[in-house]
Chain A
Amino acid sequence: MSSKKENLFKSETQILEKCELLLTKEEVTVDEYKDSFKELCFNYSELLDQSRLITRVSDKLQNKLNSAYEAVEVKNIELRNTIDELTKARVGRKAQTIILFIGLSLFVLEELVLEPIVDKATGNDIWISLGIKLVIAFLLKPLESFVEGWLLTKANKKVPGIEEPPKKAIVA
């Protein structure tokens, strides 16, 4: 038994030692035994009451701790969801900016580089030129999803996640 526990049950230990000492004595009268036994019974009864109380109170406080733990878990999930939503929103805005820049660049490149070549090859066919622009326009959305997904993976790796609480019960 640790010294801390011995101190916690100091008076109870003293009572036990007193009775044990009586047992080691050779000449003890029946009355002395009776008195000692009476005292021991009284103290045992008190100790039993104490044990009952401490067990009951301890169980109740464990319930309280469990409830607090569950509340923390719920808050943890809420916090995780909020962080996820914030990350998604931030990444979405970033992806849109990137796509806007890519889109503009592609249209400028198409206009300056690709269109003269196409015009030369097709004899200034406006429908081919329009078709290329449409293809670029239709590519922007899937490209945005791809960039968003890539940025999200990157952000999830960078942002430290909220640690999962241990599954084992907390003991007071």
Chain B
Amino acid sequence: MEPLVLQPSAHTPSVNLNPTTGVCEFKGRSTPENSVEYYEPIYKWLDAYVQSPNTTTVVNLQFEYFNTSSSKCILDVLKKFVKLHNTGKEVKINWFFEDEDEDMKEAGEDYSDILEIPFEIQPIV
């Protein structure tokens, strides 16, 4: 399985999904014109990854900002990790936020609540 690397742009985050290390990173702002189109390859990659995952999966999310449709797409991405977690695999989700960015911190808490999976919510030092 090949890693999925998407370079960041002014409206899209950088994505680095590595099946060998099990580290999946999302960083930056997510305001694409068509969120579904942007996240579609990520869904497909994750569906394949869930079939043969690493022993431990670490998900690092560091968003500056995302629009409403992206918030739904991020939820769908996280659901796939929850699905993996429910199969008994170790999944660690880290939600990073800029220090003093309470809104982004609370967004992470909200995701954690709805998905019923603990997030490691920490400020960027």
Q: Which residues of A contact B (CB under 8 A)?
A: 4, 7-10, 49-50, 52-54, 56-58, 60-61, 63-65, 172
Q: Which of chain B's residues have a CB closer than 8 A to the CB of A4?
A: 34, 36, 69
Q: Contact check, B36 vs A61: say whether CB atoms are below 8 A apart.
A: no
User: How many residues of chain B are within 8 Å of chain A by beta carbon?
Assistant: 23
6 nearest A-B pairs in the assembled complex, by CB-CB distance:
A60-B103, A7-B36, A64-B103, A172-B67, A58-B68, A53-B114
Pair A8/B69 contact, Cβ less than 8 Å: yes
B65 in the interface (beta carbon within 8 A): yes
Q: Which residue of A lies closest to B68 (CB)?
A: A58
Task: Return the chain B residue nearest A4 by Cβ.
Answer: B34
- For the residues of B in contact with A, the DSSP-based class is helix
A50 x B106 contact (CB < 8 A): no
Residues of B whose CB lies within 8 Å of any CB of A are 31, 34-37, 65-69, 71-73, 75, 101, 103-104, 106-107, 110-111, 113-114
Q: In the complex, A65 Cα to B64 Cα: how many Å? A: 11
Q: Most A CB atoms within 10 A — which of B35, B36, B75, B104?
A: B36
Looking at B31, B69, B103, the one whose CB has the most chain A CB atoms below 10 A away is B103
A104: shortest Cβ distance to chain B, in Å?
Answer: 56
A50 with B114: CB separation less than 8 A: yes
**Contact between chains at A63 and B103 (CB < 8 Å):** yes
Chain A binding site: helix, strand, loop or mixed by DSSP? helix
* A61 to B110 CA separation, bound complex (whole angstroms): 12
The complex places the Cα of A112 from the Cα of B72 at a distance, in Å, of 86
Q: B69–A64 contact, CB under 8 A?
A: no
B36 and A8 contact, CB distance less than 8 A: yes
* Bound: A61/B65 CA distance, A: 7
Residues in B whose Cβ lies below 8 Å from that of A52: 114
Pairwise interchain contact B111-A53, C-beta atoms closer than 8 A: yes
Q: Which A residues lie within 8 Å of B71 (CB)?
A: 53-54, 57-58, 61
A38 to B121, CA, bound (A): 35
Give every chain A residue within 8 A of B104 (Cβ-Cβ). 60, 64
Bound CA–CA A102/B120 (angstroms): 73
Give Cα A9 to B69, complex, Å.
10
**Docked CA distance A58–B68 (Å):** 6
Q: Is the CB of B65 within 8 A of A54?
A: no
Enumerate chain B residues within 8 angstroms of A57, measured Cβ to Cβ. Answer: 68, 71, 107, 110-111
Cβ contacts under 8 Å, B69 to chain A: 4, 8
